[in-house]
Amino acid sequence: MKSVSVAIVGFGKIAQDQHVSALNDNAAFTLDAVASRNASLEGVAHFRDIQTLLDERPDIQAISLCAPPQVRYRQARAAIAAGKHVMLEKPPGATLSEVEDLRAQAERAGVTLFATWHSRCAAGVAQAREWLSARRVTSVNVQWKEDVRRWHPGQEWIWEAGGLGVFDPGINALSIITAILPEPFFLTQGELEVPVNRQGPIAATLAFRDVHDADIRAEFDWRQTGSQTWDIHIETDAGPLSLTQGGSRLTIGDEVVLEGGDAEYPGLYARFAELIANGESDVDVTPLRHVADAFLLGQRVSVEAFNE
Identify the pLDDT of residue 114: 98
**Can you tell me the distance from the alpha carbon of 288 to that of 221, in angstroms, rounded to the nearest whole number?**
18
pLDDT of residue 1: 62
Q: Give Cα separations from 191 to 79, 106, 278, 307 (angstroms).
A: 38, 36, 42, 21
Q: What pLDDT is recorded for position 40?
A: 93
Vertex 94: Cα angle to 90 and 99 (nearest 5)? 75
Buried b (16+ CB within 10 A) or exposed e, 255-291: eeebeeebbbbbbbbebbbebbeeeebbbbbebbebb
- Could you say which residues of the chain have pLDDT below 50? none
Full-model pTM: 0.95
Residue positions annotated with a catalytic role: 90
What sign does the dihedral 198-167-85-104 (CA atoms) show?
negative
- Asked if residues 205 and 218 have their Cβ atoms less than 8 Å apart, the reply is yes
How would you list the strands of the sheet with 45-47, edge to edge?
A: 45-47, 29-35, 4-9, 62-65, 85-88, 113-115
Check residue 10 and give its pLDDT. Answer: 96
The predicted pLDDT at position 178 comes to 98
Bridging pattern class, strands 239-244 and 249-252: antiparallel
